[in-house]
Amino acid sequence: MVYIYVGIAGALGAILRYLIGISLLTNSTFPWATLVTNLAGSFLLAWLTTTLFKKIPVSPVVASSIGTGFVGSFTTFSTLSVETVELFKDDHLLLGIAYVLVSIAGGIFMSRLGFKVNKEVEKA
């Protein structure tokens, strides 16, 4: 049964990612939509696992559905990889390198921020 919940949550995460993608369509060469969703997802997963799920106890099924299903489909490493290769292929080497560096460093920063929000809430 957990597979069904993860699948439903995954579908919702993918739909949200798609909606963000079409709302952030720009004429820019830089893949802003993927960057925004991956950074937001990094924060969200850290915040959910360290803050929300600690305050509101949820079953492992719900935690897996939200974390693996929703957030996992909302963010995507494969799109980051393909878009980076496309930037390189189109001779946008510096943009491709910047995209990878900002994605990785930004994802780590946003995850850290998600953990830090929990510590600030605990202090209050």
Binding residues for Na(+): 72, 75
Say whether 55 sits in a helix, a strand or coil: helix
Closest CA to 121 of 56, 50, 58: 50
In one letter, which amino acid is 61?
V
CB burial of residue 88 (10 Å; 0-12, 13-18, 19+)? middle
Sign of CA dihedral 18, 23, 25, 31: negative
Residue stretches of the annotated binding site: 72, 75
